[in-house]
Amino acid sequence: MRLVACVSAGLLLCATPLRAAEAPFEPSLLRLAEILGSLHFLQTLCGGESRDWRMEMETLLDAEKPSAERRARFIAGFNSGYRAYAANYTTCTPSARAAIALYAKEGEKLTREVTGRFGN
C-alpha cells in the first residue's frame, strides 16, 4: 500500500501553522484520522500486511503540530474510526477485508488531494 508513503510525505508538505478555522483542508485531515483509526483496528483484526496505522497517525500529528484542541479532535477522529469497527467485528470477515481496501483507497485519495491542492 502506498498510503503510508503518501501520508508521510504529503503531510510534511502541507503542514502549516494555520488555525483550524483557517485551514480549508481540516475536514479532509479529520477524515484521514478517522480512516487511520479504522485501518488500525481492521488490519490488526485481519492480519495481512504489517502497517502501523497508529504510527501514521503520529506522523500526521507531528506534521500538523496542532494546538491541544485540534490535537484532541484528530485523536477523537482516530478513536471514532477504531471504535466503529471494534463495536461490530470480532473476527475478520470478507466485508472487513473489503473495508480495508476501500479505506486505503480513500486515504490515498485524500492525501493526494490535500497535498496537491495545499502543499507547497
Phi/psi for 95 (5° steps) reads -70, -30
Instruction: State how far the Cα of 9 lies from the Cα of 38, in Å rounded to an integer.
Output: 21
Is 73 domain-assigned?
Answer: yes
How many domains are there within the chain? 1
For residue 81, give the amino acid letter: G
Is 87 domain-assigned?
Answer: yes
Confidence band for 38, pLDDT divided at 50, 70 and 90: very high
pLDDT tops 90 at residue 86: yes
pTM: 0.79
Grid cell listed for 102: 476501500
| Domain range for 62 | 24-118
Is 36 domain-assigned?
Answer: yes
pLDDT recorded at residue 7:
53
pLDDT recorded at residue 17:
46
Instruction: State how far the Cα of 101 lies from the Cα of 39, in Å rounded to an integer.
Output: 9
Highest mean pLDDT among 18-22, 87-91, 113-117: 87-91
